[in-house]
Amino acid sequence: MYQNKRFYIPTKIYFETGITDRLKDILKDENFKRALLICDSFFEENGTAEEIKNKNDAVLDIFSDFTPNPMLSKVEKASKLLKELDADCVIALGGGSCLDLAKFASAYRYADGKIQDYFFGKKKFEKHIPLIAIPTTAGTGSEVTCVSVCNDDISGIKSPLNDEKFYPYISIVDPRLTLSVPPFVTATTGLDAMAHALEAYWCCAHRDITDTFAVASLKSIFGSLEQAYSDTKRQNIEARREMSKGSLFAGLAFSQTKTAAVHACSYPLSSNFYLSHGEACAFTLDLFLLENAKFDKRIETLAKELGFVNVDEMASKIKYFKKKFKLKTTLADLGCKDSKKLAEECLAHPLYNNNPVKHSVEELAALLEELK
Ligand SMILES: [Zn+2]
């Protein structure tokens, strides 16, 4: 398909430390007058949401009634509020879950029928309210992708939905917002961004433009993740800036290519063993780095470009990060006794087809068992 070679993103991107102070100007320039602020409850509790509302007349109300891994029932609730307010814009301030919920709600606001019909792809969205995405973590890249990951209350299924209506209209990336992120979240979201960049680089759908963003992203992330994690005084804005840039560039890359086996495995790992998305991605990241490098010789060159002697050293660095950040690294850590069943679930995910190397159930189960 020739479309698979294009690079398309309809989002206006602002990337600058302190740029969120200009939200009022942005709303004015865009002529938005009736906005709903959707934010993580943390920002409502610490007064940030109220402060934004007070400074911006266009912000009519605040919605924060959702948890990480947002449920479709909460998407419905936010959509209902958008309808009641007759909102002309949605502002999403928070981590990946907040942005994902806001994307779905801004499109479902105009939809009719059951939300599950859209979630499972039986129906397509036709319209949406413009979304201003303001990420507060450096990791998901959700501010520049058209993916929304939600949970269906009825079936319990967690799944990503791709829809071009989900692209934010504006993305405001302000590294300053990530200063207050706790170390564990800095670590896991940072490794998620690393997984986005690596998978965009080696997946079947990679192309020259996405490779360029992926490599730039990896340079930023490998060069600053540890400093951002150790920034307990919350003042290393340079490391935070590099992480935000790395996350944004990784988002730009995988928004076009999608991800591959690491993300395919992350879904069963998250739902069966309650790992956060970033920790679930980190779990197999070094495994697939080594596996895919056997097939794709560009990965050896990439490792050298990033300053490693070879791919093995690069994989060791990822393992080092996982230990340093106290993440789960083995099946025993997870309490997983049936590696074959886990491998089957991983291989069943469609994203595995985007991985350059395919595995049988037995092969993948053996690789998972070897994780140290
Ligand atoms: Zn991810």
Task: Tell me, in angstroms, the distance from the centre of ligand 1 to residue 126's CA.
Answer: 26
% of the chain residues with pLDDT over 90:
95
Q: Is the pLDDT of residue 159 over 90?
A: no
Q: How far is CA 213 from CA 199, 228, 264, in A?
A: 12, 21, 22
Dist. CA 367–CA 214, nearest whole Å: 26
Single out the residue of 97, 106, 169 nearest to residue 133, CA to CA: 169
Task: Tell me, in angstroms, the distance from the centre of ligand 1 to residue 364's CA.
Answer: 20
Domains, the chain, ranges and CATH?
A: 2-177 (3.40.50.1970), 181-370 (1.20.1090.10)
Task: Tell me, in angstroms, the distance from the centre of ligand 1 to residue 250's CA.
Answer: 10
CA dihedral sign, ordered 231, 15, 95, 89: positive
% of the chain residues with pLDDT over 70:
100
Task: Tell me, in angstroms, the distance from the centre of ligand 1 to residue 238's CA.
Answer: 23
When pLDDT is cut at 50, 70 and 90, the band that residue 2 belongs to is confident
Confirm if 300 and 329 have CB atoms less than 8 A apart: no
Task: Tell me, in angstroms, the distance from the centre of ligand 1 to residue 99's CA.
Answer: 13
Dist. CA 200–CA 338, nearest whole Å: 30
Task: Tell me, in angstroms, the distance from the centre of ligand 1 to residue 22's CA.
Answer: 29
What tokens does 160 get?
A: 């990503």
Strands 147-151 and 158-162: antiparallel
Task: Tell me, in angstroms, the distance from the centre of ligand 1 to residue 214's CA.
Answer: 14
Task: Tell me, in angstroms, the distance from the centre of ligand 1 to residue 110's CA.
Answer: 28
pLDDT of residue 307: 98
Strands 131-135 and 59-63: unpaired
Task: Tell me, in angstroms, the distance from the centre of ligand 1 to residue 155's CA.
Answer: 22
At 291-342, the pLDDT tens digits run 999 999 999 999 999 999 999 999 999 999 999 999 999 999 999 999 999 9
Task: Tell me, in angstroms, the distance from the centre of ligand 1 to residue 26's CA.
Answer: 29
Q: Is the pLDDT of residue 285 over 80?
A: yes
Q: Is the pLDDT of residue 282 over 90?
A: yes
Average pLDDT for the chain: 96
Task: Tell me, in angstroms, the distance from the centre of ligand 1 to residue 271's CA.
Answer: 14
What tokens does 94 get?
A: 């928070």
Confirm if 330 and 372 have CB atoms less than 8 A apart: yes
Task: Tell me, in angstroms, the distance from the centre of ligand 1 to residue 186's CA.
Answer: 14
Confirm if 321 and 254 have CB atoms less than 8 A apart: no
When pLDDT is cut at 50, 70 and 90, the band that residue 105 belongs to is very high
pLDDT of residue 144: 97
**Average pLDDT of span 145-149:** 94
Task: Tell me, in angstroms, the distance from the centre of ligand 1 to residue 13's CA.
Answer: 20
Q: Is the pLDDT of residue 1 over 90?
A: no
**Average pLDDT of span 211-215:** 98
Dist. CA 196–CA 126, nearest whole Å: 28
Strands 89-94 and 131-135: parallel
**Average pLDDT of span 221-227:** 98
Q: How far is CA 176 from CA 43, 162, 173, in A?
A: 15, 29, 9
Task: Tell me, in angstroms, the distance from the centre of ligand 1 to residue 193's CA.
Answer: 7
Q: Is the pLDDT of residue 156 over 90?
A: no
